[in-house]
Structure 1
Amino acid sequence: MSTLAPLSYVKVSSIRMQGLLLLFFSKMEHVPFIRDIQATYTRTGIFGYWGNKGGVSIRLSFYGHMLCFLNCHLAAHMKYATERVDEFEYIMDTQMFNCTKAPRIIDHRLVFWFGDLNFRIQDHGMHFVRSCINNQTYSLLWSQDQLTMMKKKEQLLQEFEEGPLDFKPTYKFDLNSDTYDSSGKKRKPAWTDRILWRSEDVSTQEPTVAEQREEDEEFPLKIKQDLYTSKMEYSISDHKPVIGIFSLELRKMYEIPLVRLRAEGDWSADIDAMVVYSPLQPFPSSSWDWIGLYMVGFTSMSDYITYTWVKDDEVAFNEELMQVYVSKEEIPVRGGECVLCYYSSALQCIIGISEPFKVSIKEIIVSLKSSAPSRKPSNIT
């Protein structure tokens, strides 16, 4: 968060299940257009009760397009390729969201599936695998990659795309080194860490979803992978991290935020302040909605300086403009560049961000009183 905030990225959502963590960041300019955020998890560890294996997901609406991000940690060891597929299908079947348009992962227009999927390189011996790695002839190993092999017979896997594995297998390394496992077990290198995606193909949709197909055709979404590689310089794990960069080309279903807000007048800790906001589109307002004051460069929605409940401190200016007061006791004494964010409790997201404005430094008056005898000017003759 401290690294990404200066680059104008804000943490929008996160979910954790033991060691499995998913963080979703967005550029500030997109935040008011990311809505309907939900997160969930599925355990597939020992008897389905332990969370060391399974999947965590975050789904959302991005300019009206339904996206889902699924991070999985599947069963380990060479012989459990079928179990890994079973776990993935179980996660896909059981994760449900409170969303009419996309209640399941598979209903989203774009799904990213990634994580430590634990698929191994089968059949090839250790000497051949390491020789291919040293010679960078990775393509000779692809046919025996278990995920590639399972895709040939599993319909669900065939719906997911993946870029070419033109980088070293990312597992397993000695800690703090670029050396593959030199322990007594000498595990065979493998591409355990993967990034795949599934983009909804309008041409394959069922006739029963004609209305949805018309919407998809009117508001197209295209995806292109720009980079798929590993980062060998990181050595704190026995895995090397994998990076995927994608470009999305889409037509926005809406281009204005739900709320416009601004700081009215001068802001400082010397006087009570006022926020003026106006709804630009209908949205489910709630007594739990609040407006937060943030420093420019804030890291997440919880990184506010102060907040005020909209309904508690609201005064109607007219039917289109609302005023909300902020107590001077809540305004930072040191001042600085700030923004205001309107948070919708019903939508679980920020739906409006003000332009940056200056909060003045609080005036401090210091009175000095001397105990020394006063000196009068000398008489001049």
Structure 2
Amino acid sequence: MSSRKLSGPKGRRLSIHVVTWNVASAAPPRDLSDLLQLNNRNLNLDIYVIGLQELNSGIISLLSDAAFNDSWSSFLMDVLSPLSFIKGNKGGVNICLKLYGYYVSIINCHLPPHISNNYQRLEHFDRILEMQNCEGRDIPNILDHDLIIWFGDMNFRIEDFGLHFVRESIKNRCYSGLWEKDQVWWGRLSSRASHPGLSIAKKHDPLLREFQEGRLLFPPTYKFDRNSNDYDTSEKKRKPAWTDRILWRLKRQPCAGPDTPGPPASHFSLSLRGYSSHMMYGISDHKPVSGTFDLELKPLVSAPLIVLMPEDLWTVENDMMVSYSSTSDFPSSPWDWIGLYKVGLRDVNDYVSYAWVGDSKVSCSDNLNQVYIDISNIPTTEDEFLLCYYSNSLRSVVGISRPFQIPPGSLREDPLGEAQPQI
């Protein structure tokens, strides 16, 4: 991922759009432009973080997902891949990123339901934080990361108030009275004069207390009758609640000094630009919630791990030679590979050809490496291509070239049945 936006001397600003939605086993709607802010040209987003809960987990769906992408992933990438966004195939609910030398952890969760299970929710919250580790990282425990973005169906409810009072407050948009009894919010400031605050949960949980959240200026997002904006009219008449939340936590960093190495806190900051629900979507009994953030940072790492050089491309018969350089501390592996893609790829497995770095290297000198990639059967096309370097050690794409065009050919099947890289 990259950004051309600057914010101060040698600083960068990244715009991040976070979405959480309990889709309740429903299929994707026809249009997600509002949720993804595709019509808001002023946002100029760099990163999408999308977390869904309660995708259809029936046996037919599981078998289909094992062979193909699930319907939600396919639909979202139909929308986002033309805009040059790429989906990384990650398992689990925690993704760790290293962003210009900073560590970022992204967590999507679905905590236990029902109003009486608040302490069980807190226990799950703490357990996720304390047990999640990122293998192969310099800072494996996510509590030591510079930024944690935590979102999902947290299932926190509104205590004490009855159903009629809650619904009347929502009807009259009097949300402040509900904040004080929300299981996440409860007097963040000691005076409570100008801002709602620390949750009932935060009062009892030191880890949750370290997380921040934007003001809840939108109606509770659960529970709705499907395909409507009416709260539950079934016999159960469940009380509305803000179950769907987006939180964040910045690591506390002392100012750098002789005895405290590290960047000042001002070199890495997150500000919330918008926090809202999207009432127009009715496929689920939950409404989706999104938060848009500006991440300001001063890069700790300026040189990319891998630089691919399409300007040095040239072909020999059916092969294309690719030149690349790496930093001195890059953890190379013979299982690293370079993929050739058409511009507009949806996923790192969408390569049209590839080469194992360990098997295909033909030259290595002064930190400049060269490998051959087979292009014998790429059909004649005016499409543009790009190269991606995948690191097996880091389990991530660590280098992406600029777009380029290559001579014609056609892609052939591997006659030896050689194993192809999969993520």
TM-score range, shorter chain: 0.7 to 0.9
The answer to whether the 8 Å contact 1:173/1:179 transfers is: yes
Equivalent position to 2:211, from 160, 180, 187: 160
Higher alpha-carbon deviation: 251-260 or 274-283? 274-283
TM-aligned CA distance change 1:219 to 1:256, over 3 Å: farther
Q: Is the 8 A contact 2:376 2:409 kept in 1?
A: no
- For the pair 1:97 / 2:134, whether they are aligned, the reply is yes
Alpha carbons of structure 1 residues 2 and 234: separation in structure 2 relative to 1, 3 Å: same
Equivalent residue runs for 1:132-281 within 5 Å: 132-147=169-184, 148-203=199-254, 213-217=260-264, 220-263=267-310, 271-281=318-328
Partner residue in 1 for 2:79: 3
- The amino acid across from 2:83 in the alignment is L
Residues 163, 183 of structure 1: alpha-carbon distance in 2 compared, 3 angstrom cutoff: same
Runs of at least 5 residues in structure 1 that lack an aligned partner in the other structure = 17-55, 364-381
Aligned residues: CA RMSD: 2.5
Question: In 2, distance between residues paired with 1:292 and 1:190?
Answer: 46
Query: Percent of aligned pairs with the same residue?
Result: 46
TM-score, normalised to structure 2, is: 0.70
Give the 3 Å change call, closer, same or farther, for CA 279–102 of structure 1 in structure 2: closer
Q: Return the index of the structure with the highest Cα Rg.
A: 1
| CA deviation after TM superposition for structure 1 residue 166, in Å | 0.6
TM-score by structure 1 length?
0.78
The residue type equivalent to 1:173 in the other structure is F
Query: Shift of residue 217 of structure 1?
Result: 2.0
Residue 52 (structure 2) pairs with residue 15 (structure 1): no
Whole-angstrom distance in 1 between the partners of 2:252 and 2:105:
16
Counterparts in 2 of 1:250 and 1:265: CA distance versus 1, 3 Å = closer
**CA 1:293 to 1:99, structure 2 compared with 1: closer, same or farther past 3 Å?**
closer
Could you say what secondary structure the match of 1:152 adopts?
Answer: helix
| Residue-by-residue CA offset, 1:76-108 (whole Å, 9 max, x unaligned) | 111111111111112222222225642222111
Structure-2 change in CA distance of 1:87 and 1:280 (3 Å): closer
Q: 1:268 to 1:332 in 2, by over 3 A?
A: farther
Distance of aligned partners of 1:74 and 1:317 in 2 relative to their CA distance in 1, 3 Å threshold: closer
| 1:286 paired residue number | 333
* CA shift for structure 1 position 115: 0.6
Q: Quick check: 1:219–1:252 contact (8 Å CA) kept in 2?
A: no
Q: For the structure 1 residues 63 and 92, does the alpha-carbon distance in structure 2 shift closer, same or farther, using more than 3 Å as the test?
A: same
Counterpart of 1:15 in 2: which secondary structure?
coil
Q: Is the CA contact (8 Å cut-off) linking 2:254 and 2:265 kept in structure 1?
A: no
CA 1:299–1:276 in 2, change beyond 3 Å: closer, same or farther?
same
Deviation at 1:231, TM superposition (A): 0.7
Matched-pair contact (CA < 8 Å) for 1:286–1:344:
yes
Distance 1:294 1:333 in 2: 15
Count residues in correspondence.
320
